[in-house]
A and B are shown apart, each in its own frame.
Chain A
Amino acid sequence: MAGNKGRGRAAYTFNIEAVGFSRGEKLPDVVLKPPPLFPDTDYKPVPLKTGEGEDYVLALKQELRETVKRMPYFVETPEEKQDIERYSKRYMKVYKEEWIPDWRRLPRELMARKKCKKAGPKSKKAKDTGKGTSLTNTADVLKKIEELEKRGDGEKSDEENEEKEGSKEKSKEGDEEEDDNAAEQEEYDEEEQEEENDYINSYFEDGDDFGADSDDNMDEATY
C-alpha cells in the first residue's frame, strides 16, 4: 500500500473492481448539491384503485371536510379588519350550534377566569350543605352555577359596553357635529380604539417580536 501512495495512484485500500469499476475507469464526480426536488422517475405510478367502495369513501371524506368546518369545534381565527368591508361577508358566516363542554370532565383552570372565581365558594357551600348528595344532585348544582355564571358574564360585558359608550360620548362632546353621522362615527371610533389597543398589547407583551422585526430591518439595510 505504501508503494501505491508513493506512485501517486488513487489510494484505495480495497479493490475498486469489486464495486463495479474496471481498471483505469474514471470515477464519477463528487456530488456537492442535494438531489433534485422533482427527480425523473423511471417507472410511472400504477393507477389508483377504483370501485364503489372507494368512491363512497371519497365522497365521505369530502363531505366530512365540509361538515367539520360547520362544527362548533372549528375555532376560527379572529379576522383582521379589512379596509373595505365586504357586503357579501355578512352572508358567508356559517351558522354553528353552540357547544357547552362538560366542565366536570375538564380541569377547572380551563373555565374562563371569571367563572372560576364565582364557582369556587359556591360549589364549596353546596358541598357543605348536602353531604350525601348523589351524582345527579351535584350535576344540577353545577348546571345552576353555570347558568348563573353565564348571566354574570352577560352583565359584565354589558358594563363594558356602557363604559365604552361613555368614553365615546365624552369624545363626542368636544366636536358635536351632525347627528346623522353619529352612528357611523361611533363605529369608526370603536375600530380605532381596538386597533390602538392591539398595537400596544403586542408591543409591550412580547419583546421577542420587536427584536425579530429589528433584525429584519438590519438585513434589509445591509442588502
Chain B
Amino acid sequence: MTQAEIKLCSLLLQEHFGEIVEKIGVHLIRTGSQPLRVIAHDTGTSLDQVKKALCVLIQHNLVIYQVHKRGVVEYEAQCSRVLRMLRYPRYIYTAKTLYSDTGELIVEELLLNGKMAMSAVVKKVADRLTETMEDGKTMDYAEVSNTFVRLADTHFVQRCPLVPATENSDPGPPPPAPTLVISEKDMYLVPKLSLIGKGKRRRSSDEDATGEPKAKRPKHTTDNKEPIPDDGIYWQANLDRFHQHFRDQGIVSAVANRMDQVISKWVGQWLSGIFTYLQMWPLAYSQSQHSRVNSDFQFTFQTQTSSEIVRTMLRMSEITTSSSAPFTQPLSSNEIFRSLPVGYNISKQVLDQYLTLLADDPLEFVGKSGDSGGGMYVINLHKALGSLATATLESVIQERFGSRCARIFRLVLQKKHLEQKQVEDFAMIPAKEAKDMLYKMLSENFISLQEIPKTPDHAPSRTFYLYTVNILSAARMLLHRCYKSVANLIERRQFETKENKRLLEKSQRVEAIIASMQATGAEEAQLQEIEEMITAPERQQLETLKRNVNKLDACEIQVDETIFLLESYIESTVKRQ
C-alpha cells in the first residue's frame, strides 16, 4: 500500500462511514491483520466503538476476519476493496443502463448496505419505486424479484459466503468466530421465494401520527412470527462482473474507433470514386439513384459492424470466461453468425471477411485460434487491455508534454530500445530539443534507461545507454499519480464545502421553509420575500461553489475511469508473468 492509496482510503472511509470507522479502517490498512484488543489499544479508541466500526466494515465486505490457533480472531482490511467505493456511482449507472430503474435501485441498495437478504432488497426497492410513481400505482414485488433473478443470472449480484448449518456434533464451546464457506455452484442460485405483495407508499403527511397502525399492519401480514424465507442468505454486488462489463465496453469502443472508422472512411472513398466515375454518364446514372445507392451503402457499412461482431463475441463469452482469463473461449464463426443480434443482416461471407480483417489487425484484439467450424476466433483480452493502457499513456504524454514528446515516446515504444542518437535521428527533431524532451520524460519516469557496459568497469564512455519504455512500470507510476489526484480532488472538494458551510446551511434552510410554505399554500409574494433572504452576492457565491463542486466530482469520476483501465492492465499483466 502506498501512501497515496492509504490517503485515498482514509478519505473514502471518512466520507462513507464517519471518522471513527475511518480511524479503525486506516489503522488496519497500515498495520495488516490485528486482533480486537490491539486495535483498540493502538488507536486509543474505546472498545465499544472499535466493535461497532468493525461490524460496519465487515458488513460492507471491507474487512475480513480469521480465527488463529489459540482462538484469537484477527481482522484484516481489504484495501483494494475500499478503493472500489470510488466507483459506486458507475456500478449503479451500469445497472441502470442494463436493467433500468429497478436494476439501478437493487444495486444501489446492495452497495449502500454491503450485503442484504433478497427479500429485504425486493421489499425496499419496491417501496422506493412505489414512492416515485404516480398516486394509485404500486410496484409489484414479483417484478422486482424478476429483475433480481436476471441480475443473478448474469452474475452481477452474487451470494455472500454462508455460515454453515449448525454443527451439533461439535462438542465444547462454540468457536469464537463463524467460518464462512463459499459454495461455488450456489453462488448465483436464487432461493425460491414467493414474494407476493406491493410496494408501500410512505405517507409524508402523517409520518409520526400513523406510526402505530403502520407498525401493526406488517405484523399481521408478514412478521407474524413467520421466519424470513431466505434468512441467512445474503447477497452482494459482484464487482468483478461489473469490471468485466467495463472492460468489454472499453474493448468494443476501441474496436469501433479503430476499425469502423477506418473501414467507413475507406468505403466512403471507394464509393465516391465509383460515383464520380458513374456521373460521367449522366444518362445511365441519375442523381436520384446516386443518393439512394449512397445511403444504402452508407447504412450497411457505417453501422459499426466490426465493433458489433466484437460485442457479440464478448457477450457470448461473458459467463463462460472468467473475468481474469487472458483469452475468451474460442468461438467458431458459425456460432458468432448465429448469435449476432436479430435484424442485423450481414451475410456469413461478410462476417468472415470482417473476422479475417480483425484478426489481421496489428493490434491483435481478435486472434484466430483454429480453422475448424469455419474458423475459430478468440478475443485477446490481455492484448486489448495492453493496447488500451498504452493508448492512455500516450495521451497523457501528449497532453502533458506536447505532441512532439508523444512522437518520441511512440518511437521508443515501437522500436523497443534506442540510443539517444537514434532517437534524435528517427524523431526528426533537432538534437538539442530531442534531448531535452527525452530527459524530461526520463525524469518523470515515463521512459527508462538501460545501461549496457562494454567493459566491466561501467565507464560511461564505453557503455551503451538505451532508452526504453517499460509499460508496466509506467502504468504503475501513472496509477499512483491517479490515486494522488483523486485524493487531492476530494480534499479540495471538502475544503470548498467547508469554507462555504454557513452559506450552504442557510440556503438549505431557506429551501426547506419555501417547500413547507408551498405545501401549505402560501402567497406568491410571501415566497418571494423568503427567497430574497439570500442576497444576490450570496446567490452568486453559491453558484460558483456548485460549479466547482460539480467539476471536482466529475473529475473524480473520470480519473477513476483511468484508474480502472490501468488497474485491470496491471492485474492482467502480473497474472501472466
Please tell me if B453 contacts chain A, counting CB pairs below 8 Å: no
A23 within 8 A of B: no
Given contacts A14-B460, A60-B93, A61-B89, contact A74 B16 (CB under 8 A): yes
Q: Is the CB of A75 within 8 A of B52?
A: yes
Q: Which residues of A contact B400 (CB under 8 A)?
A: 41, 43
Q: In the bound complex, how far is the Cα of B420 from the Cα of A15, in angstroms?
A: 14
CB of A198, distance to nearest CB on chain B (Å): 11
| Contact (Cβ within 8 A) A57 B93 | yes
Q: Is B112 an interface residue (CB 8 A)?
A: yes
Q: Do B18 and A106 have beta carbons less than 8 Å apart?
A: no
Residues of A within 8 A of B439 (CB): 19-20
Q: How far is the CB of B41 from chain A (nearest CB, A)?
A: 9
> Is A138 positioned at the interface, with any CB of B under 8 Å from its CB?
yes
Q: Which of A125-133, A148-156, A166-174 contacts B (4 or more CB under 8 A)?
A: A125-133
Any chain A CB within 8 A of the CB of B166?
A: yes
The residue in chain B whose Cβ has the minimal distance to the Cβ of A22 is B432
Number of A residues near B (Cβ < 8 Å) is 59
B1 → A minimal CB distance (Å): 23
| B104 and chain A: residue at smallest CB distance | A60
The answer to whether B112 touches A107 (Cβ under 8 A) is no
Tell me if A58 counts as interface (CB < 8 A to partner B).
yes
What's the minimum C-beta distance from A177 to chain B, rounded to whole angstroms? 36
Of the four ranges (under 10, 10 to 19, 20 to 34, 35 or more), the interface on chain B belongs to: 35 or more
A49 touches B558 (CB 8 A): yes
Is the CB–CB distance between B59 and A101 below 8 Å?
yes
The verdict on A102 contacting chain B, using a C-beta distance below 8 Å, is yes
B17: which of A62, A73, A108, A139 is its contact (CB, 8 Å)?
A: A73
Chain A residues, CB < 8 A from B232: 102, 104, 135, 139
| Cβ–Cβ < 8 Å partners of B234 in chain A | 102, 105
Residues of B278-303 at the interface with A, using a CB-CB cut-off of 8 Å, are none
Docked-complex contact A53 and B93, CB < 8 angstroms: yes
For window 85-138 of chain A, which residues contact chain B by CB distance below 8 Å?
101-102, 104-113, 120, 123-124, 127, 131-136, 138
What chain A residues lie within 8 Å of B460 (beta carbons)?
A: 13-14
Segment among B43-51, B135-143, B306-314, B520-528 that sits at the interface with chain A: B43-51
Chain A residues engaging chain B, CB cutoff 8 angstroms: 13-15, 18-20, 41-43, 45-46, 48-50, 53-54, 56-58, 60-62, 64-65, 67-68, 71, 73-77, 101-102, 104-113, 120, 123-124, 127, 131-136, 138-140, 206, 209
15 new A-B pairs (CB below 8 Å) besides A71-B113, A73-B60, A133-B166?
A: A19-B435, A19-B439, A43-B400, A54-B554, A58-B553, A73-B21, A73-B56, A73-B113, A75-B20, A75-B21, A77-B20, A105-B180, A107-B65, A110-B55, A135-B166
